[in-house]
Structure 1
Amino acid sequence: MTPNSEAELAEMILGAEGSLKLQGGGTRGIDVAGISALLSTREMAGVTLYEPGALTLVARAGTPLADVVATLASEGQRLAFEPMDHRPLLGRIGTPTVGGAVAANVSGPRRIQAGACRDSLLGVRFVDGMGRVIKNGGRVMKNVTGYDLVKLMAGSWGTLGVLSEVSLKVQALPEAEATLLGEGLTAQDAVGAMSAALGSPYDVSGAAFVSDGGKAQVRLEGLETSVRYRLGQLAQSVCAGWQIVEGTESAKLWQNVRDVIPLAGEKGAIWRISVKPTDMPLVLQALGSPNAVCDWGGGLIWVAMPAAWDGDLRAELNRFGGHATLVRADAKVSGGTPKFPPEPAALAAISKGLRQKFDPRGILNPGVMG
């Protein structure tokens, strides 16, 4: 099932006689229980409105992210939330789409400064499980009245509706970019330096740690004179002795973090863990010091857990108040371990009620989020 328009999408969902697996570019490979058909939005593509002066872009859900990036770059602009490309980590092919990024709320290293994907969303159009076309939000920033379905759809993984169009605010490309890179650091030393940099007045737009080589990196962006000044201040204080990496080499460092390239060739299960940033060293220690990529100042941890590890990762996280998403399973955890962490009873009741409201037949990506 590959609709070419929102009207066709609504007709297909209304006429569906079984469960549907929803797919944009097919780069994340989610598992859906008991599907009877695959519904792809890849033909619903194209930028429908772009106003550089208003920092606003509207695109159909199936629009390749690469097309959005190229369109923005032609006017010296970009997506602030720096969406990840999952293909290297998951070993998949396909084309990342803007609708897929929104549905999964995909947010990269710049989240610590610019917010998540949902924070760049201005409006959405989607078709719910009854084939109804729903519009929420708009094409400019404004106060929200009533239910904020825009934020609700971001990260819902298609369980509430199928996105047909998204409106995004964008930002200008910076004049300069540079990274301070420290090597041979312990996780504890790295989180201390990253926390200090993030707590400084120097407007850090990225702070990450890669366990292989003990590499910590802190990014600065903006006007060239401003970047130079801030680099100098950090290099004389919390990042003393660190190497300065600029331009395309700096961008490559952050692409590797964004796409979790250091774990791409690792065997075993891949987990995405969210914890308090300062707990990052303790979490890695509790998990047996696996290979890890730690973004957001240590608050986001990607780990590759070897099959030989016999612990319960989610149980280990309980004492830190964190939670984990299973991004790529191996033979040991496949089938028996849910992708998303279990929700507290009160939140689970709300989630169930929302799915019942928007998809009473339970046909949209059943089983993906409980």
Structure 2
Amino acid sequence: MSNVLTPESAADVVDYVASAVATAEPLEIIGGGTKRAISPPTQTGYVMDLSRLAGIVGYEPEELILTLKPGTPMAEIGDTLSAAGQMLAFEPPDLVPLLGAGGVATFGGAFGTNFAGPRRLTAGAVRDHMLGLHAVSGRGESFKAGGKVVKNVTGYDLARALCGSWGTLAIATEMTVKVLPRPETETTVALPGLAVEAAVHAMSRAMGSAADVSGAAHLAADVVGAAIPGATVPHTVLRLEGFGPSVAARAEALRRLFAGQEIVAVEREPSQALWRAIRDVTPFVGTAGAVWRISVAPTEGPRIAAAMPPGSRAMLDWAGGLVWVETPATGDAGASLLRDAVAKAGGGHATLIRAPAEIRTGTSTFHNSAVNVKALSERLRAAFDPHAILNPGRLART
């Protein structure tokens, strides 16, 4: 059984990593461990648990800036921001119920995976809101990038590069992120009964309009009931957020845009529940299938849905650009079909989020990167973690 290291300061992290480098003993890096099951188990003698390296270091609501440590629970962040009428704009998903792994989701996990929710479509991903960080490389060296003000862009690209690296390049010990005001209200305009191709076309029209849609998703008939209680036909849903009069005016604009189409209005609280269900992939919680997270061009979402193996279900987010697929947990769980469809769609990523151990043994979690992306990744690894000390095997190093 792995020994667990529990640093309580950045200095502790430096000491632990330096020792690991000296003894050539790799480390598995975790925060709350809630996404640990996504990738294959790492072969390390030690686990560095960052849950004690936690807490909000500084919060300046008037400047829209939050500085915190990686082990800070997402629930604590949400409560703090809500009290000031603010939020993390990238709408980080809570995948604890989907994965059934337990634990407490932390900001370090959001930073490490770069996973974002429905607002990713308009607000960007986690990396787009990072202002700066302090970190420790796989060499055991402490460094910092960026700053604590929005206008300070020194080292900004480096902070972005580390975001989404799954802890394979460096260990962030303190991060500064931009936050945004929370919308006063929201409503969802739902279009029932559309097939997936028509749904993607409708979402594209809405996104190209002046309605300022902040979320666009399509729920097929076999998943919609988990997000809209009582619904039994497909629903294409468009979220509007902001001040009440503005939301009402934009909802009316969408009604005119889709004149002749049946429209259902989902008001504030049911709308919030609907988008939480989409964000957290609730339709696939508690089921037995394998779950894929597939990112392609929005117009290619229907292609992915058409390529699913028999017995599969799908939910489209990001106007069709993010496809959540549940496949039967047999064989390769549809990996060959889905990844071939991604290639035919012009490229993208198909990540195996949930699957039994026997499927993970023969199926890679992450999609092969394009040659240029792979070359850049290798250069970053050579610079930050040349000895493969941090999370070896979590991402392919071939």
TM-score, normalization: structure 1? 0.96
Fraction of identical pairs, as percent: 44
Within 5 A, what are the aligned runs for 1:85-96? 85-96=94-105
User: Are 1:19 and 2:62 an aligned pair?
Assistant: no
Aligned partners of 2:345, 2:165: CA distance in 1, in Å? Answer: 25
Partner of 2:9: 5
Distance verdict in 2 for CA 1:146–1:161, change over 3 Å? closer
Aligned partners of 1:83, 1:249: CA distance in 2, in Å? Answer: 19
Deviations 1:104-152 (A, max 9, x none): 1121100111111111111111111121111000111126356721100
Partner of 2:227: none
Shift of 1:308: 5.2
What stretches of structure 1 move > 6 A for 4+ residues in a row?
none
User: Are 1:100 and 2:109 an aligned pair?
Assistant: yes
Partner of 1:253: 274
Q: 1:315 aligns with which of 331, 336, 340?
A: 340
> Residue type of the partner of 1:216?
T
Of Structure 1 and Structure 2, the greater helix share is in 2
Q: Any stretches of 5+ residues in structure 2 without a counterpart?
A: 223-232
User: Are 1:303 and 2:329 an aligned pair?
Assistant: no
Q: 2:209 aligns with which of 189, 195, 200?
A: 200
Aligned partners of 1:61, 1:329: CA distance in 2, in Å? Answer: 27
Contact map agreement 2:303 2:341 (CA 8 A) in 1: no
Q: 2:258 aligns with which of 217, 238, 254?
A: 238
> Residue type of the partner of 2:274?
L
Shift of 1:332: 5.7
Aligned partners of 2:122, 2:372: CA distance in 1, in Å? Answer: 31
Partner of 1:356: 382
Q: 1:276 aligns with which of 280, 297, 312?
A: 297
Partner of 2:372: 346
Q: 2:237 aligns with which of 210, 217, 236?
A: 217
Aligned to 2:361, the other structure's residue is in SS state coil
Q: Any stretches of 5+ residues in structure 1 without a counterpart?
A: none
Shift of 1:309: 7.2
Within 5 A, what are the aligned runs for 1:52-67? 52-67=61-76
Contact map agreement 2:33 2:103 (CA 8 A) in 1: yes
> Residue type of the partner of 1:65?
M
> Residue type of the partner of 1:274?
S
Aligned to 1:363, the other structure's residue is in SS state coil
TM-score, normalization: structure 2? 0.89
Distance verdict in 2 for CA 1:210–1:332, change over 3 Å? farther
Aligned to 1:164, the other structure's residue is in SS state strand
Contact map agreement 1:220 1:227 (CA 8 A) in 2: yes
Aligned to 2:51, the other structure's residue is in SS state coil
Aligned to 1:335, the other structure's residue is in SS state helix
RMSD: 1.7
> Residue type of the partner of 2:344?
R
Tell me how many residue pairs correspond in the alignment: 370
Partner of 2:360: 334
Shift of 1:33: 3.1
> Residue type of the partner of 2:109?
G
Aligned partners of 1:226, 1:119: CA distance in 2, in Å? Answer: 26
